[in-house]
Structure 1
Amino acid sequence: MSTPHLRKLLRYRAWADELIYDAVAALPEGASTAPRATIFGNMLRTLSHSWVVDDIFQAHLQGRVHGYTSRNTPEPLPFDELRSRQQAMNGWYLEYASALTPAQAAEVVTFQFIGGGEGRMSREEMVLHVVNHATYHRGFVADMFYQVPVKPPATDLPVFLRDAPQE
Protein backbone atom coordinates (compact mmCIF):
# COMPACT_ATOMS: atom_id res chain seq x y z
CA MET A 1 0.00 0.00 0.00
CA SER A 2 1.40 3.40 -0.88
CA THR A 3 2.08 6.14 1.65
CA PRO A 4 -0.41 8.48 -0.10
CA HIS A 5 -3.10 5.81 0.24
CA LEU A 6 -2.35 5.31 3.96
CA ARG A 7 -2.45 9.09 4.45
CA LYS A 8 -5.83 9.28 2.70
CA LEU A 9 -7.23 6.55 4.94
CA LEU A 10 -5.87 8.27 8.04
CA ARG A 11 -7.31 11.64 6.95
CA TYR A 12 -10.63 9.85 6.40
CA ARG A 13 -10.42 8.33 9.86
CA ALA A 14 -9.71 11.70 11.52
CA TRP A 15 -12.55 13.34 9.56
CA ALA A 16 -15.03 10.62 10.50
CA ASP A 17 -13.95 10.73 14.15
CA GLU A 18 -14.51 14.48 14.22
CA LEU A 19 -18.04 14.03 12.86
CA ILE A 20 -18.83 11.40 15.48
CA TYR A 21 -17.33 13.38 18.35
CA ASP A 22 -19.19 16.53 17.22
CA ALA A 23 -22.44 14.55 17.08
CA VAL A 24 -21.87 12.94 20.49
CA ALA A 25 -21.13 16.37 21.99
CA ALA A 26 -24.47 17.62 20.65
CA LEU A 27 -26.50 14.81 22.21
CA PRO A 28 -28.76 15.44 25.21
CA GLU A 29 -27.04 15.32 28.60
CA GLY A 30 -26.26 11.73 29.62
CA ALA A 31 -27.02 10.15 26.23
CA SER A 32 -23.39 9.17 25.58
CA THR A 33 -23.07 7.40 28.93
CA ALA A 34 -26.55 5.88 29.12
CA PRO A 35 -26.50 2.07 29.23
CA ARG A 36 -26.98 0.56 25.78
CA ALA A 37 -27.32 -2.96 24.41
CA THR A 38 -23.80 -3.08 22.99
CA ILE A 39 -20.50 -4.75 23.79
CA PHE A 40 -18.92 -1.81 25.64
CA GLY A 41 -22.12 -0.62 27.33
CA ASN A 42 -22.38 2.92 25.94
CA MET A 43 -21.04 5.40 23.42
CA LEU A 44 -18.27 6.82 25.58
CA ARG A 45 -16.90 3.37 26.49
CA THR A 46 -16.96 2.39 22.80
CA LEU A 47 -15.01 5.51 21.80
CA SER A 48 -12.62 4.88 24.68
CA HIS A 49 -12.00 1.34 23.44
CA SER A 50 -11.12 2.65 19.99
CA TRP A 51 -8.59 5.08 21.48
CA VAL A 52 -7.04 2.38 23.69
CA VAL A 53 -6.51 0.09 20.70
CA ASP A 54 -4.88 3.01 18.86
CA ASP A 55 -2.60 3.52 21.88
CA ILE A 56 -1.72 -0.17 22.01
CA PHE A 57 -0.79 -0.29 18.33
CA GLN A 58 1.13 2.97 18.63
CA ALA A 59 3.23 1.24 21.32
CA HIS A 60 3.79 -1.75 19.02
CA LEU A 61 4.92 0.57 16.23
CA GLN A 62 7.25 2.41 18.61
CA GLY A 63 8.64 -0.80 20.11
CA ARG A 64 7.59 0.09 23.63
CA VAL A 65 5.53 -1.64 26.29
CA HIS A 66 1.98 -0.27 26.46
CA GLY A 67 1.06 -1.52 29.94
CA TYR A 68 -2.56 -2.40 29.14
CA THR A 69 -4.12 -5.58 30.48
CA SER A 70 -7.48 -4.82 28.88
CA ARG A 71 -8.65 -3.28 25.62
CA ASN A 72 -10.32 -0.42 27.49
CA THR A 73 -9.66 1.91 30.39
CA PRO A 74 -10.94 0.78 33.80
CA GLU A 75 -13.16 3.87 33.89
CA PRO A 76 -14.17 5.94 30.88
CA LEU A 77 -12.18 9.10 30.32
CA PRO A 78 -14.14 12.35 30.44
CA PHE A 79 -15.52 13.13 26.97
CA ASP A 80 -13.43 16.27 26.36
CA GLU A 81 -10.21 14.54 27.45
CA LEU A 82 -10.96 11.50 25.28
CA ARG A 83 -11.69 13.70 22.31
CA SER A 84 -8.44 15.60 22.77
CA ARG A 85 -6.48 12.37 23.08
CA GLN A 86 -8.14 10.95 19.96
CA GLN A 87 -7.34 14.07 17.95
CA ALA A 88 -3.70 13.89 19.06
CA MET A 89 -3.57 10.17 18.28
CA ASN A 90 -5.03 10.70 14.82
CA GLY A 91 -2.40 13.36 14.18
CA TRP A 92 0.36 11.04 15.36
CA TYR A 93 -0.73 8.24 13.02
CA LEU A 94 -0.90 10.62 10.05
CA GLU A 95 2.58 11.96 10.77
CA TYR A 96 3.92 8.44 11.35
CA ALA A 97 2.51 7.02 8.11
CA SER A 98 3.69 10.05 6.14
CA ALA A 99 7.27 9.37 7.21
CA LEU A 100 7.28 5.63 6.43
CA THR A 101 9.49 4.47 3.60
CA PRO A 102 8.23 1.48 1.57
CA ALA A 103 10.76 -0.77 3.34
CA GLN A 104 9.64 0.46 6.78
CA ALA A 105 5.97 0.04 5.86
CA ALA A 106 6.61 -3.60 4.92
CA GLU A 107 8.65 -4.36 8.05
CA VAL A 108 6.99 -7.00 10.22
CA VAL A 109 6.65 -6.25 13.93
CA THR A 110 5.99 -8.96 16.49
CA PHE A 111 3.96 -8.26 19.61
CA GLN A 112 1.82 -9.94 22.24
CA PHE A 113 -1.96 -9.71 22.03
CA ILE A 114 -3.62 -8.64 25.27
CA GLY A 115 -5.82 -11.74 25.13
CA GLY A 116 -2.72 -13.92 24.68
CA GLY A 117 -0.68 -15.13 21.77
CA GLU A 118 1.90 -13.62 19.50
CA GLY A 119 0.96 -11.20 16.76
CA ARG A 120 2.92 -10.43 13.61
CA MET A 121 1.89 -7.57 11.35
CA SER A 122 3.66 -5.22 9.01
CA ARG A 123 3.70 -1.57 9.99
CA GLU A 124 1.29 -0.72 7.17
CA GLU A 125 -1.05 -3.53 8.28
CA MET A 126 -1.06 -2.02 11.78
CA VAL A 127 -1.96 1.39 10.40
CA LEU A 128 -4.68 -0.14 8.24
CA HIS A 129 -5.95 -2.02 11.29
CA VAL A 130 -6.43 1.12 13.39
CA VAL A 131 -8.35 2.77 10.53
CA ASN A 132 -10.54 -0.27 10.00
CA HIS A 133 -11.03 -0.85 13.73
CA ALA A 134 -12.22 2.73 14.26
CA THR A 135 -14.63 2.42 11.34
CA TYR A 136 -16.07 -0.75 12.85
CA HIS A 137 -16.65 0.84 16.24
CA ARG A 138 -18.01 4.11 14.83
CA GLY A 139 -20.69 1.84 13.39
CA PHE A 140 -21.54 0.67 16.91
CA VAL A 141 -21.74 4.30 18.06
CA ALA A 142 -23.95 5.17 15.08
CA ASP A 143 -26.31 2.35 16.02
CA MET A 144 -26.53 3.73 19.57
CA PHE A 145 -27.56 7.11 18.14
CA TYR A 146 -30.76 5.46 16.89
CA GLN A 147 -31.43 4.28 20.44
CA VAL A 148 -31.42 7.92 21.71
CA PRO A 149 -33.21 8.42 19.10
CA VAL A 150 -31.04 10.72 16.97
CA LYS A 151 -29.81 10.24 13.42
CA PRO A 152 -26.01 9.80 13.35
CA PRO A 153 -23.78 11.62 10.88
CA ALA A 154 -22.80 9.88 7.64
CA THR A 155 -19.15 8.87 8.02
CA ASP A 156 -18.72 6.68 4.94
CA LEU A 157 -15.59 6.92 2.80
CA PRO A 158 -17.51 8.17 -0.28
CA VAL A 159 -18.96 11.01 1.82
CA PHE A 160 -15.43 11.93 2.94
CA LEU A 161 -14.23 11.88 -0.66
CA ARG A 162 -17.13 14.13 -1.67
CA ASP A 163 -17.15 16.54 1.30
CA ALA A 164 -13.60 16.84 2.60
CA PRO A 165 -10.81 18.70 0.79
CA GLN A 166 -8.44 16.20 -0.77
CA GLU A 167 -4.66 16.52 -1.13
Structure 2
Amino acid sequence: MSLTRHVRMLTRYNAWANQRLFALLGTLPDEVLTAPRPTGFGTIVNTLSHAHVVDLIWRAHLQGQPHGFTSRNTATGPPLHELRRAQADVDQWFVDYADTLSDAAHDEIVHFRFVDGGAGAMSRADMLLHTVNHKTYHRGYVADLLYQAGLKPPVMDLPVFLRDTAPAP
Protein backbone atom coordinates (compact mmCIF):
# COMPACT_ATOMS: atom_id res chain seq x y z
CA MET A 1 0.00 0.00 0.00
CA SER A 2 1.36 3.41 -0.89
CA LEU A 3 1.95 6.16 1.65
CA THR A 4 -0.97 8.06 0.12
CA ARG A 5 -3.33 5.14 0.64
CA HIS A 6 -2.03 4.58 4.18
CA VAL A 7 -2.54 8.19 5.19
CA ARG A 8 -6.03 8.23 3.69
CA MET A 9 -6.93 5.00 5.46
CA LEU A 10 -5.54 6.23 8.79
CA THR A 11 -7.46 9.51 8.69
CA ARG A 12 -10.62 7.48 8.09
CA TYR A 13 -9.70 5.10 10.92
CA ASN A 14 -9.21 8.07 13.22
CA ALA A 15 -12.64 9.52 12.39
CA TRP A 16 -14.24 6.06 12.86
CA ALA A 17 -12.58 5.49 16.25
CA ASN A 18 -13.51 8.96 17.46
CA GLN A 19 -17.11 8.43 16.36
CA ARG A 20 -17.28 5.14 18.27
CA LEU A 21 -15.85 6.68 21.41
CA PHE A 22 -18.07 9.76 21.32
CA ALA A 23 -21.14 7.58 20.65
CA LEU A 24 -20.50 5.68 23.88
CA LEU A 25 -19.63 8.80 25.85
CA GLY A 26 -22.88 10.39 24.68
CA THR A 27 -24.80 7.74 26.62
CA LEU A 28 -23.06 8.50 29.91
CA PRO A 29 -24.13 11.01 32.54
CA ASP A 30 -22.20 14.27 32.81
CA GLU A 31 -20.90 13.23 36.22
CA VAL A 32 -18.86 10.45 34.60
CA LEU A 33 -17.51 12.72 31.86
CA THR A 34 -16.49 15.57 34.15
CA ALA A 35 -15.55 13.69 37.32
CA PRO A 36 -12.00 14.40 38.48
CA ARG A 37 -9.77 11.55 37.30
CA PRO A 38 -6.12 10.59 37.87
CA THR A 39 -4.96 11.87 34.49
CA GLY A 40 -2.94 14.80 33.26
CA PHE A 41 -6.07 16.52 31.95
CA GLY A 42 -8.28 15.95 34.99
CA THR A 43 -11.43 14.66 33.27
CA ILE A 44 -12.54 12.63 30.28
CA VAL A 45 -13.92 15.73 28.55
CA ASN A 46 -10.75 17.74 29.18
CA THR A 47 -8.63 14.91 27.74
CA LEU A 48 -10.69 14.91 24.55
CA SER A 49 -10.69 18.71 24.46
CA HIS A 50 -6.89 18.66 24.50
CA ALA A 51 -6.84 16.22 21.58
CA HIS A 52 -9.22 18.49 19.68
CA VAL A 53 -7.15 21.62 20.33
CA VAL A 54 -4.05 19.82 19.06
CA ASP A 55 -5.95 18.85 15.90
CA LEU A 56 -6.84 22.50 15.33
CA ILE A 57 -3.20 23.48 15.78
CA TRP A 58 -1.97 20.91 13.23
CA ARG A 59 -4.73 21.81 10.79
CA ALA A 60 -3.56 25.42 10.94
CA HIS A 61 0.05 24.31 10.38
CA LEU A 62 -1.01 22.31 7.32
CA GLN A 63 -2.91 25.33 6.01
CA GLY A 64 -0.01 27.69 6.68
CA GLN A 65 -2.18 29.80 8.97
CA PRO A 66 -1.79 30.98 12.56
CA HIS A 67 -3.74 28.85 15.03
CA GLY A 68 -4.15 31.43 17.79
CA PHE A 69 -3.49 28.99 20.64
CA THR A 70 -1.01 29.72 23.41
CA SER A 71 -1.47 26.32 25.02
CA ARG A 72 -2.33 22.78 23.97
CA ASN A 73 -4.97 22.74 26.70
CA THR A 74 -8.04 24.72 27.58
CA ALA A 75 -9.01 25.53 31.16
CA THR A 76 -12.12 23.37 30.80
CA GLY A 77 -13.55 21.36 27.96
CA PRO A 78 -16.78 22.35 26.22
CA PRO A 79 -19.91 20.28 26.80
CA LEU A 80 -19.57 16.84 25.24
CA HIS A 81 -22.20 17.44 22.53
CA GLU A 82 -20.29 20.53 21.31
CA LEU A 83 -16.94 18.75 21.46
CA ARG A 84 -18.36 15.74 19.60
CA ARG A 85 -19.62 17.92 16.76
CA ALA A 86 -16.40 19.95 16.60
CA GLN A 87 -14.26 16.79 16.60
CA ALA A 88 -16.35 15.22 13.83
CA ASP A 89 -15.89 18.40 11.76
CA VAL A 90 -12.11 18.46 12.16
CA ASP A 91 -11.92 14.69 11.56
CA GLN A 92 -13.75 15.19 8.27
CA TRP A 93 -11.39 18.03 7.38
CA PHE A 94 -8.40 15.67 7.84
CA VAL A 95 -10.07 12.97 5.72
CA ASP A 96 -10.84 15.48 2.97
CA TYR A 97 -7.36 16.99 3.18
CA ALA A 98 -5.67 13.59 2.94
CA ASP A 99 -7.82 12.81 -0.08
CA THR A 100 -6.52 15.89 -1.90
CA LEU A 101 -2.80 15.27 -1.38
CA SER A 102 -0.74 13.83 -4.18
CA ASP A 103 2.12 11.44 -3.51
CA ALA A 104 4.59 14.30 -3.95
CA ALA A 105 2.68 16.59 -1.58
CA HIS A 106 3.07 14.06 1.24
CA ASP A 107 6.83 14.64 1.21
CA GLU A 108 6.57 18.44 1.16
CA ILE A 109 8.13 19.97 4.27
CA VAL A 110 6.00 22.46 6.19
CA HIS A 111 7.68 24.94 8.52
CA PHE A 112 5.71 26.04 11.57
CA ARG A 113 6.02 27.27 15.15
CA PHE A 114 5.23 25.03 18.08
CA VAL A 115 2.92 26.48 20.73
CA ASP A 116 5.98 27.09 22.93
CA GLY A 117 7.44 29.24 20.14
CA GLY A 118 10.08 26.79 18.92
CA ALA A 119 10.57 26.22 15.21
CA GLY A 120 9.34 23.01 13.64
CA ALA A 121 9.43 21.37 10.23
CA MET A 122 7.73 18.13 9.19
CA SER A 123 6.45 16.55 6.03
CA ARG A 124 2.72 16.79 5.41
CA ALA A 125 2.44 12.99 5.73
CA ASP A 126 4.24 13.01 9.08
CA MET A 127 1.95 15.78 10.32
CA LEU A 128 -1.12 13.77 9.35
CA LEU A 129 0.29 10.61 10.90
CA HIS A 130 1.00 12.55 14.09
CA THR A 131 -2.61 13.71 14.37
CA VAL A 132 -3.83 10.12 14.07
CA ASN A 133 -1.25 8.79 16.53
CA HIS A 134 -1.90 11.60 19.01
CA LYS A 135 -5.59 10.85 19.18
CA THR A 136 -4.99 7.10 19.41
CA TYR A 137 -2.83 7.84 22.44
CA HIS A 138 -5.50 9.96 24.12
CA ARG A 139 -8.35 7.60 23.25
CA GLY A 140 -6.28 5.07 25.19
CA TYR A 141 -6.25 7.44 28.17
CA VAL A 142 -10.01 7.77 27.98
CA ALA A 143 -10.45 3.99 27.64
CA ASP A 144 -8.44 3.52 30.82
CA LEU A 145 -10.49 6.17 32.63
CA LEU A 146 -13.65 4.37 31.57
CA TYR A 147 -12.33 1.09 32.96
CA GLN A 148 -11.48 2.87 36.22
CA ALA A 149 -15.11 4.07 36.36
CA GLY A 150 -16.30 0.48 35.96
CA LEU A 151 -17.29 0.96 32.31
CA LYS A 152 -16.19 -0.75 29.13
CA PRO A 153 -14.88 1.40 26.27
CA PRO A 154 -15.82 0.59 22.69
CA VAL A 155 -13.46 -1.45 20.55
CA MET A 156 -11.41 1.06 18.55
CA ASP A 157 -8.62 -1.09 17.11
CA LEU A 158 -7.34 -0.66 13.57
CA PRO A 159 -7.99 -4.32 12.61
CA VAL A 160 -11.64 -3.95 13.66
CA PHE A 161 -11.92 -0.79 11.54
CA LEU A 162 -10.41 -2.61 8.56
CA ARG A 163 -12.77 -5.54 9.04
CA ASP A 164 -15.86 -3.40 9.54
CA THR A 165 -15.18 -1.04 6.64
CA ALA A 166 -13.88 -3.56 4.09
CA PRO A 167 -15.80 -3.66 0.83
CA ALA A 168 -18.22 -6.54 0.59
CA PRO A 169 -16.81 -9.53 -1.34
TM-score, normalisation: structure 1 = 0.95
**Are the structure 2 counterparts of residues 48 and 112 from structure 1 closer, same or farther at C-alpha, using a change threshold of 3 Å?**
same
What RMSD over aligned residues (CA atoms) do the two structures have, in Å?
Answer: 1.4
Aligned length: 167
Equivalents in 2 of 1:101, 1:31: separation in Å? Answer: 43
Percent identical? 51
**Are the structure 2 counterparts of residues 75 and 166 from structure 1 closer, same or farther at C-alpha, using a change threshold of 3 Å?**
farther
Corresponding position: 1:162 with 2:163: yes
Structure 1: 5+ residue stretches without partners = none
Post-superposition shift, 1:110?
A: 1.1
Equivalences for residues 79-158 of structure 1 within 5 A = 79-158=80-159
Post-superposition shift, 1:166?
A: 4.7
Secondary structure of the residue aligned to 2:31 is coil
Residue equivalent to 1:76: 77
Equivalents in 2 of 1:50, 1:127: separation in Å? Answer: 14
Equivalents in 2 of 1:49, 1:128: separation in Å? Answer: 17
Letter aligned with residue 25 of structure 1? G
Equivalents in 2 of 1:137, 1:91: separation in Å? Answer: 19
Corresponding position: 1:21 with 2:46: no
Runs of 4+ in 1 over 4 A off after TM superposition: none
TM-score, normalisation: structure 2 = 0.94
Equivalents in 2 of 1:46, 1:95: separation in Å? Answer: 25
Corresponding position: 1:33 with 2:34: yes
Letter aligned with residue 162 of structure 1? R
Secondary structure of the residue aligned to 2:36 is coil
Post-superposition shift, 1:82?
A: 0.7
Equivalents in 2 of 1:7, 1:166: separation in Å? Answer: 16
Structure 1, 122-131 or 3-12: larger mean CA deviation: 3-12
Post-superposition shift, 1:15?
A: 0.6
1:129-155 Cα shifts (integer Å, max 9, x gaps) = 000000000000000001211011111
Structure 1, 84-93 or 115-124: larger mean CA deviation: 115-124
**Are the structure 2 counterparts of residues 28 and 77 from structure 1 closer, same or farther at C-alpha, using a change threshold of 3 Å?**
closer
Post-superposition shift, 1:105?
A: 1.2
Equivalents in 2 of 1:125, 1:104: separation in Å? Answer: 11
Secondary structure of the residue aligned to 1:77 is coil
